[in-house]
Amino acid sequence: MNSENLPPHDVEAEKAVLGSLLVDGDAVFKVASSLKPEAFFIPEHLWIYDVCLRLYQRAEAINQITVARELAQQNKLEEVGGAAYLSHLVASVPTSLHIEYYARIVSRLDVMRQLIKAAGEIAAIGYKADADVDDAVIKAEDVLFAVLRKQSPRYFVSLKEVLGQYFEETEPPVREEQRIPHVLTNFAAIDDLLGGLQRSDLIILGARPSSGKTSLALNIARNAAINQKACVAIFSLEMSRQDIARRLLASESGVDCGRLRLGQYTEREERRIMDASGVLADARIFIDDSPQLRMVEMHGKAKRLHFEHPIDLIVVDYIQLIRDESRRDNRVQELSEITRSLKALAREISAPVIALSQLSRAVEQRMSHKPVLSDLRDSGSIEQDADVVIFISRDEMYIREEDWRKNYDIESTPYPRGVADIVIAKHRNGPTGERKLRFISSITKFEDLEVEVSAA
């Protein structure tokens, strides 16, 4: 109930959400990606919900006992009313069945409070008599758009998209026993060493910028989705979904990515593009390009997609852009928590997770530019949590052809143009080693070389 002197809020709805989670911890995936802790008006409710999200992120059980323990560790248990208040929350709802309904109430009232705050800010802008009118209008629009962006509203969609969604929803569901046993990269050089990507494995793919790590990850995603009919989820925190689609289209059609972006291609290339579009349209690849994604939101979105379409592979581009708000003071600890959460997600969904990672500049400062495990940027527990660590190294990025000719016999050791060294630096359940792939940067595509080097 609201007081006339308080902003809009609904204490009972907030209690119903929390009570639902304490009654049925598995219900958290229904609200984790859409309901943020800040949406709760009562501070103590915010703390309790935040604890539930942290437990969920760590793949730990959510119930009255675990929440009380976590609150006690934060010295907040007594402030929220002790274990007795948690018992009261449990008693306030008989079931978690309506948690999404209550969550929508909490979110809606949070929007109303944001609008009230925005109205005050706009009023303050209007009271500045000496302000430029056009500038004031722009600032007022920015205030409103800030509220709008937080709500992730739905905009117009084409009939084609609606029809596609209809046919997708009417397809028979994929049963657990129908999921593929393991994902193949479809690069013989890599699969020979790894035996494919195993379920529940966390695979770290590291490289310096512009080395091709996004391209390799997308190639693997494409191969799995098309060759094995796998369901692939891509979280792209750096590139837009349009950029992802363009790269996939360039790799599939063989048309230069730059010309695709500018729309400059021949009639023959246009036919190839149309053919490639048809192939990719049938692939079960789902893209989330939210630029500022918290780990708990990623977890919730993945669980929701997995509930509708059992996921076979997850790609995350890239680790250093994910945020874990509980560890803002220490970036190494923050990344450690993120990698642990990614590993927990892989185990919970029983699907391999390929997480891209930046490498430190130390790679470029050594005589040998081959990455090593210590090059993982802000590494923390990245190396420890990973089941597999793969590095990409391309000599052509560091050595010009004329310098290469001075140091090597060009006949016996040709310049490595378009050649990428794939280094398996860690393999928890198998051999490590090095392989070579061809990288065609203009179409962002990797291919097997005819001649491979032996494993280490």
Contact predicate 280/252, CB 8 Å: yes
C-alpha–C-alpha distance, residues 321 and 334, integer Å: 11
Question: Which residues, other chains included, contact 27 with Cβ-Cβ below 8 Å and sequence gap of 6+?
Answer: 20, 21, 96, 99
* Residues tagged active-site: 238
The rounded distance, in Å, linking the Cα atoms of 250 and 57 is 36
**Residue type at 125?**
I
How far is residue 344 from each of residues 32, 301, 302, 340, 368, measured CA to CA in Å?
16, 14, 12, 6, 35
Contact 316, 322 (CB under 8 A): yes
What are residue 199's phi and psi, to 5 degrees?
A: -60, 140
Work out the widest C-alpha separation in the chain, in whole angstroms: 85
Which amino acid is residue 113, in one-letter code? R
Residues 6+ apart with CB under 8 A from 253: 260, 269, 272, 273, 275, 276, 443
Sequence-ordered strand ranges (E) for 44-181: none
Q: How far apart are CA 135 and CA 124, in angstroms?
A: 14
**Kind and range of the H or E element at 315?**
strand 313-317
What are the tokens at 255? 């048309």
How does DSSP assign 249-280, residue by residue? HHHHH---HHHHHHT---HHHHHHHHHHHHHH
- Whole-number Å distance between alpha carbons of 38 and 18: 14
Distance (Å, whole) CA 207 – CA 445: 16
Residue 53's SS3 state is helix
On whether the CB atoms of residues 31 and 304 are closer than 8 A, the answer is no
Are the beta carbons of 383 and 416 closer than 8 angstroms? no
On the question of a cis peptide bond just before residue 318, with omega within 30 degrees of 0, the verdict is yes
**At a CB cut-off of 8 Å and minimum separation 6, what does 150 contact?**
111, 114
